[in-house]
Structure 1
Amino acid sequence: MTRYRFLLSPTWLGWLAVCVGFAVACVFLGQWQLDRREQAMQDINRVVSNYDEEPTPYAEVRETFHQPHADDEWTVTTMRGQYLSEDVRLVRNRGHSGAVGYEQVMPFQIDGGDVVVISRGWLPTDSTDASLPAYMPEPPRGEIELTVRLKPAEPEIDRGAPEGQLASLDLVDYEQQLGREIVTGAYGLMAEEDPAPAEQPRPLARPQLDEGPHLSYSMQWYAFGLLGFIGWGYAARLTARNRDLDLIAEEEGGRERAAGVASAGVSKQDRLREARRIRRLRAGRASDEDVEDAWVEERLGSR
């Protein structure tokens, strides 16, 4: 192991420490990607489990609207009552099919007491005034039956909104604006209104069942961490080989000087090339050119 003793020098140990630090960072980044994939898989499983299930009457899932669990998202339920259309709001900056517009929300008074916020769908912005929707459809009048999917309330964001609009579906903020009690744990994403109105907002798209590239990204980070050690080892091997070549060149130079052969005018590059040739001959990996050179030297030496 004396050939690699230089690895114990402060310089090489320092580079090894850099590789270790880089590998640790890559492991954390790879785990972060795996955690993101796990979250994506949980979201997909909720969609698969709940999105297309038969609807459940609101009375049976009332508590989930008040205190929803993550697994309750997309639960399908039916409710009867009427819209409180005078309290309609527009949620700003909502994306849909690559465009940004508004989400129309309004309270729905359920027969029996609770007031649940319903998102009726998405509205494009006006082509001449982007601060307004292109149209504002009216909800059905009187008592109707809704089929909705449960969505947990969104957190408060540090951003204001003009009068009649919301920065997010923060139901506590909505309740304060209305001055009346509403269910603040979750809202309903409208799937069907019966009877259907003449004009409706555009329904929001079904959630994508795509886990994303997180698994491949995590594997890439782990590979990057391993490549650091591979690079360090490869550099160590090159350094050891070059040191061996220098040693061979020095030995050959010493023999030439001992034999009285002048080495003046021979460049270091030529000496290294000769050292590499000698090394290949010793290792039994001589090329055709090496064999030919050795044959010529043998014939010249025999004269």
Structure 2
Amino acid sequence: MYRFLLNRRWLALLAFVIVFGAVCFRLGLWQIHQLDRRLDRNEVITDHFSTAPVDLDSAAPVGTTIDADSAWTRVTMRGTYDAASAASVKFTSRDGAPGVDVVVPLRLDDGTAVLVNRGWMETANSNARPDLPAPPNGEVTVRGWLRQDNNAGGDAVRIFDGQIRAIDSDGFSEFVPYELRDGFVNAQEESPESTPAAALEAEPEPELGQGPHFFYALQWWFFGMIGITGYIWFAISEARDRRRARTGPRQDSEREVASPVSA
């Protein structure tokens, strides 16, 4: 009754369903892996935020690469802002409002520097560089948390007309005459503050929720089940139609033989 499943059309459909189901299953697993990564990240952030800030040289000595484990470490450092090398990260937003992040290198006593994201300011969404608030003069103490480089690469991390699209110490280092440490720092406090105080919003603490990954995984697996269930349903429907096509004429003939002949 199901011999028709061996013809070319149904074999092609079966192959498609198998591939579709495998892809959906794999994408569901990928979402579960993303969920695991997010939970690990949340644990790292919670651990770092539950401890007091440490000196930058203790958390990330010169030459250290900021990785997933050292990111979000709360640090404190003291140095002098290089206001002439300030840049804005364009096309950022907060609560739907357009703006820029203000990034300024902080030169340290050992001659190296670290990029500091001093905060976000609302601006018109355009390619023109806005007027950036000046950082504090002289030595300043900065407290914040470490972040990894964006690693976007290409033009996204190169400065054009005082603007960049992603913060990356390697890209930024092409435009300053001193060594930049890996990663950057999201500033939360500056002492002394700018005079007058700059209208910059500090980076908010990251969300620690699970995100949509689990439900996305369920969606992909559901799509895969739809494909398999649909194939089975169509196969049963086809078999039923074929059975009716074979048995229908025979039943009609039997009914004609069994009926009385009119005089």
- Taking structure 2 as the reference length, the TM-score comes to 0.84
Deviation of the 1:188 alpha carbon: 1.3
Aligned to 1:235: 234
Alpha-carbon offset, residue 62 of structure 1: 3.0
1:41-87 Cα distance to aligned partner (Å, 9 max, x none): 33323322223431011231233773122111110111122222232
Q: Does 1:139 align with 2:142?
A: no
AA aligned to 1:241 is: R
**Residue in 1 aligned with 2:150?**
154
Q: Which of 47, 58, 67 in structure 2 is aligned with 1:49? A: 47
1:95/1:254 Cα in 2 relative to 1: closer, same or farther (>3 Å)?
same
Please name the residue that 1:104 is paired with: 102
Cα RMSD (Å) of the superposition? 2.6
Aligned to 1:194: 191
Single out whichever of 43-52 and 68-77 deviates more from structure 2: 43-52
Equivalent residue, structure 2, for 1:60 = 58
In structure 1, give the amino acid aligned to 2:38: A
User: Structure 1, residues 173-210: CA drift from partner, whole Å, max 9, x if none?
Assistant: 32221222222x11111111122233122112221223
The verdict on how the C-alpha distance between 1:248 and 1:74 changes in structure 2, with shifts beyond 3 A counting, is: same
**Contact 1:93 1:100 survives alignment (8 Å):** yes
C-alpha contact (below 8 Å) 1:26/1:225 kept by paired residues: yes
SS in 2 for 1:244: helix
The 1:86–1:241 alpha-carbon spacing in structure 2 relative to 1, beyond 3 Å, is: closer
CA offsets, 1:222-270, max 9 Å, x none?
12222222222222222333333344432322224444768xxxxxxxx
- Say if 1:162 and 1:64 are closer, same or farther in 2 by CA, change over 3 A: closer
Structure 1, residues 148-175: CA drift from partner, whole Å, max 9, x if none?
Answer: 2111222223356532233322222322
Distance 1:158 1:195, change over 3 A: closer
| Alignment partner, residue 278 of structure 1 | none
Give the deviation of 1:35 after TM superposition: 3.0
> Structure 2 matches for 1:199-238, cutoff 5 A?
199-200=197-198, 201-238=200-237
2:76 aligned counterpart, secondary structure: strand
Query: Residues 81 and 254 (structure 1 numbering): CA distance in 2 closer, same or farther, change over 3 Å?
Result: same
Superposition pairs of residues 1-303 of structure 1, within 5 angstroms = 3-63=1-61, 66-126=64-124, 131-133=128-130, 136-155=132-151, 156-159=153-156, 161-183=159-181, 185-197=182-194, 198-200=196-198, 201-259=200-258
Distance in 1, Cα, partners of 2:260 & 2:249: 14
Q: 1:65 to 1:188 in 2, by over 3 A?
A: farther
Comparing both structures, which one devotes a greater share of its residues to helix?
1
Gaps of 5+ in 1: 263-303
Q: Secondary structure at the match of 2:77?
A: strand
- RCO comparison, higher one (Cα < 8 Å, 6+): 2
- Is 2:89–2:163's contact at 8 Å kept on the other side of the alignment? yes
> Is contact 1:96-1:204 (8 Å) kept?
no
User: Aligned partners of 2:180, 2:237: CA distance in 1, in Å?
Assistant: 72
Q: 1:252 to 1:88 in 2, by over 3 A?
A: closer
Question: Within 2, Cα distance between the matches of 1:26 and 1:85?
Answer: 51
1:7–1:98 CA distance, 2 compared to 1 (3 A): same
Post-superposition offset of 1:27:
1.6
**Aligned partner of residue 239 in structure 2, secondary structure:** helix
Contact 2:186/2:202 (8 A) holds in 1: no
Q: Mark the CA change 1:116 to 1:151 in structure 2 (over 3 Å): closer, same or farther.
A: same
User: What's the TM-score, normalizing by structure 1?
Assistant: 0.74
Q: Are residues 64 and 246 of structure 1, via their aligned partners in 2, closer, same or farther at CA, if it must alter by over 3 Å?
A: farther
Report the 3-state secondary structure (helix = DSSP H, G, I; strand = E; otherwise coil) of the residue aligned with 1:86.
helix
CA distance in 2, matches of 1:108, 1:245: 82
